[in-house]
Homo-oligomer: A and B are copies of this chain.
Amino acid sequence: MAGRPRSFDRDVALATAVEQFWRHGYEETSVASLTAAMGVSPPSLYAAFGDKHRLFEEASATYFRSTCEAVDRALELPTARDAVARILDDAARAHTRAGTPSGCLMLTEPRLAAQRDELRRRIQDRLERAVEDGDLPPGTRTDHLSAFLVAVLRGMSGCARDGGSTEDVLAIAHTAMAALPSSPGAECDDASAPR
C-alpha cells in the first residue's frame, strides 16, 4: 500500500509557494520558479497540489486564514476605534516587514476579490455591533465605512509595494483614522465654531 515517501515537507513547500505568489503575484509566478523555490520537481508539485491554479488557491487560503486570525483578534478589542486602529497599524507593519514580501497578497491580487469582500464583511459586522453598542453614532453607514477601510488597506499595500517605508504606510493608517465618526459623547475639538 505504501510507496516511496515524499522527500519534502508539504507544508513547508506550501509556505514557500505562498511567499512566491505573495511576492510576484499569480500571473508573474511561473511553475518553474515555484519548483525551484520549493525544491520540488514539476511532477511532484503536480502530484501534491494538482496544478498551478489549485496550488494558488490553497496558498491564498492559507494566507487568508492567517491574515484573518490577526484581524479577528483586533476586532475583539473593546471599541470599534481601537479595533480599526489596530488593524491598520498591524497592516502597516506587516506590509513592510523585513523578510516577507511587501504589501499584502489578498489586497493586491486581482483574483482575490472574494476574500477582500469577506474581510470587508467582517469589519462591517464589527462596526454594526459598535453602532448597537453606542460606540459609533447611530446612522453610521457601516457599509461605506468598511468599504473605505478596505480601500485604505489596499492603498497601504500598494504604497508598501511601491517601496514605501513602515513610517510611510503608518502615516496613511494614522490619517485614515480621522475618517472614523467620533462617538456620540466625544467633544468636537474645533473650538472656534460651536454650531
Q: Which residues of A contact B (CB under 8 A)?
A: 27-28, 107, 110, 113, 116-117, 141, 143-145, 147-148, 150-156, 158-159, 161-164, 168, 171-172, 174-182, 184-190, 192-195
Q: Using A176-B179, A179-B175 as known contacts, say yes or no to A116 and B162 having CB atoms under 8 A apart.
A: yes
Q: Using A110-B161, A188-B195, A189-B195 as known contacts, say yes or no to A151 and B152 having CB atoms under 8 A apart.
A: yes
Chain B neighbourhood of A153, CB < 8 A: 155
Provide the bound-state CA to CA distance between A168 and B146, in Å.
11
Chain B neighbourhood of A187, CB < 8 A: 190, 193, 195
Provide the bound-state CA to CA distance between A164 and B182, in Å.
27
Q: In the complex, are the beta carbons of A179 and B178 less than 8 A apart?
A: yes
Interface class of chain A by DSSP: helix
Chain B neighbourhood of A194, CB < 8 A: 188
Chain B neighbourhood of A182, CB < 8 A: 190
Provide the bound-state CA to CA distance between A148 and B27, in Å.
28
Chain B neighbourhood of A141, CB < 8 A: 171, 175
Closest residue of chain B to A117 (Cβ to Cβ) is B162
Q: What are some 19 contacts across the A-B interface (CB < 8 A)?
A: A27-B27, A110-B162, A141-B175, A143-B171, A145-B175, A147-B159, A147-B168, A151-B155, A151-B158, A151-B159, A154-B154, A154-B155, A154-B159, A176-B179, A177-B179, A178-B178, A179-B179, A182-B190, A188-B195
